[in-house]
């Protein structure tokens, strides 16, 4: 998968690769006398079929038109039998063709290589998801490959581009059973300010790279600035098309640029630091996907959030009969209390009431920040506490937007934050999954909100502030 902004030149790039896959020595065929790899063309193994696919005929022309132009030249002299037509290309042996047909008609036409163009537009509603699945299966049966070339997708639409991004996240997090995906996504830095010319030009220069005119490329960055600043251009569209930033769905709670702007992966939390904890638990469900269980810490002094643990049901058949590893979760909580100076912990006790009660009995007296007199840890995210929940959520979101907190850059925490959707209630905005049975979990986001609320309460008590050297805590009254 190669993801670049609109106008970068993905289509000609893919067209060139399609030409090479149809004619060139792309298959490994051993080593030469100098120890260098040797290739051979597909035609020596089977009759190659190369496909340029999109969900509309207009989209296929993006790569198909430059492909025809590339072949109409020296290739005709070097490959006798090459025949270039408007609707397909006859190779000396094999064929290159554009396709927008239904998935069922693709099953019998197995391509050794396929271009999946603009996959941010390939959705379940237009058959794109099923078509991508069929084409990938076809290529895998022949030992071939596919390449997709989206612009930034919109989270929540379920596009092929979004699914590929989710697959890459699972690979990075160690949750995937295979890592056969080369993922190349480039977007402007999250701090890019679209209202500031200097910042915007710097972000565009970064994301367009060698295509930018400032380094000899063909993309006029000043023209793009004018397009972005055109009142008719929606800011979210501008970020997706020109900055290649994966922003947010219409009902997202926190956008990707907002969350990325407060990432501080270089920050370290050391043993003995004063922290608070947020916990959201789950248990096995009788149907659908079990919610995740998450534990998030927050350093009191600077509001740095870090993920201590997240336990999620594996995807597919590996998740059958999965249950939350309760023993492991409990051990992680105890390790946190042993490693850091935990001054407070807020936990949603739903389905974990007995364990929360045990934590209160064991650690309640040492906590300086308490959710209540009788229950120092229990902090319900449901029930008749909607006003408190709305306030906690608003505090968290405002702190993200205003840059008052940082986080460790955890891909799991990021995914859960970006999965959260806004939902209106009588008391205000709350967050939920996109729908109750959705596999896109938000439990780490809930744990982060609880940790942040605990940190807010800790600061209100004067915790997290450093005393001056030599101070013994005396109060001096000036009259």
Q: What is the pLDDT of residues 260-282, one digit of tens each?
A: 999 999 999 999 999 999 999 88
Q: What is the mean pLDDT of residues 320-330?
A: 89
In the chain the first and final C-alpha atoms are separated, in Å, by 71
Each residue's pLDDT tens digit, 92-137: 999 999 998 666 667 778 899 999 999 999 998 888 999 999 999 9
In this predicted structure, the answer to whether residue 468 has a pLDDT above a threshold of 90 is: no
357 versus 316: the higher-pLDDT residue is 357
Using a 10 angstrom Cβ sphere, with 0-12 exposed, 13-18 middle and 19 or more buried, the burial of residue 6 is: middle
In this predicted structure, the answer to whether residue 148 has a pLDDT above a threshold of 50 is: yes
Neighbours of 301 (CB within 10 A): 15
C-alpha triplet 231, 158, 190: angle, nearest 5°: 50
What are the structural domains, with CATH classification, of the chain? Answer: 2-185 (3.40.50.300), 187-247 (no CATH), 260-460 (3.30.420.240)
Q: What is the mean pLDDT of residues 184-192?
A: 92
Q: How far apart are CA 40 and CA 24, in angstroms?
A: 7
In this predicted structure, the answer to whether residue 157 has a pLDDT above a threshold of 90 is: no
Predicted TM-score of the model (pTM):
0.69
- Tokens 């581009």, located at residue: 161
- pLDDT bin (cut points 50, 70, 90) of residue 323 is confident
pLDDT number for residue 164: 94
50, 111, 117, 58: which is closest to 82 by C-alpha? 50
């Amino acid at each position: 998968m190669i993801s670049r902004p609109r106008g970068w030149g993905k289509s000609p790039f893919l067209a060139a690769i399609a030409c090479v896959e149809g004619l060139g020595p792309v298959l490994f065929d051993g080593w030469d006398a100098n120890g260098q790899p040797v290739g051979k063309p597909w035609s020596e193994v089977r009759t190659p079929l190369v496909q340029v696919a999109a969900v509309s005929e207009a989209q296929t022309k993006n790569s198909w038109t430059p492909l025809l132009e590339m072949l109409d030249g020296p290739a005709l002299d070097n490959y006798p039998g090459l025949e270039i037509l408007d609707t397909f290309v006859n190779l000396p042996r094999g064929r290159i063709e554009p396709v927008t047909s239904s998935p069922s008609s693709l099953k019998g036409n197995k391509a050794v290589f396929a271009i999946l163009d603009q996959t941010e537009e390939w959705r379940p509603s237009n058959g794109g998801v099923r078509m991508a699945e069929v084409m990938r299966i076809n290529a895998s049966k022949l030992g071939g490959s596919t390449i997709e070339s989206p612009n930034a997708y919109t989270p929540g639409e379920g596009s092929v581009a979004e699914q590929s991004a989710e697959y890459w996240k699972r690979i990075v997090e160690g949750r995937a059973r295979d890592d056969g995906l080369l993922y190349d996504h480039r977007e402007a830095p999250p701090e890019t300010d679209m209202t500031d010319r200097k910042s915007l030009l710097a972000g565009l220069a970064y994301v367009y790279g060698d295509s930018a005119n400032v380094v000899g490329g063909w993309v006029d960055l000043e023209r793009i600035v004018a397009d972005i600043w055109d009142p008719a251009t929606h800011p979210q569209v501008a970020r997706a098309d020109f900055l290649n930033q994966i922003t947010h769905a219409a009902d997202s709670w926190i956008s990707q640029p907002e969350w990325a702007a407060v990432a501080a992966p270089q920050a370290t939390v050391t043993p003995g630091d004063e922290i608070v904890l947020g916990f959201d638990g789950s248990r096995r469900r009788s149907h659908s996907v079990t919610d995740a269980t998450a534990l998030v810490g927050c350093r009191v002094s600077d509001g740095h959030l870090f993920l201590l643990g997240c336990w999620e049901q594996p995807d597919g058949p590996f998740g059958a009969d999965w249950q939350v590893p309760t023993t492991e979760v409990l051990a992680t909580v105890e390790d946190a209390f042993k490693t850091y100076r935990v001054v407070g912990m807020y936990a949603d006790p739903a389905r974990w009431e007995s364990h929360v009660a045990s934590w209160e009995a064991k650690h309640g007296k040492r906590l300086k920040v308490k959710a209540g007199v009788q229950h120092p840890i229990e902090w319900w995210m449901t029930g008749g506490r909607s006003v408190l929940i709305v306030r906690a959520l608003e505090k968290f979101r405002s702190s993200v937007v205003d840059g008052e907190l940082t986080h460790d850059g955890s891909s799991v925490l990021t995914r859960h934050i970006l999965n959260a959707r806004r939902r209106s209630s009588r008391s205000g905005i709350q967050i939920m999954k996109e729908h109750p049975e959705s596999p896109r979990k938000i439990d780490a986001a809930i744990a982060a909100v609880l940790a942040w609320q605990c940190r807010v309460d800790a600061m209100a008590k004067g915790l997290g502030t450093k005393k001056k050297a030599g101070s013994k805590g005396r109060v001096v009254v000036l009259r």
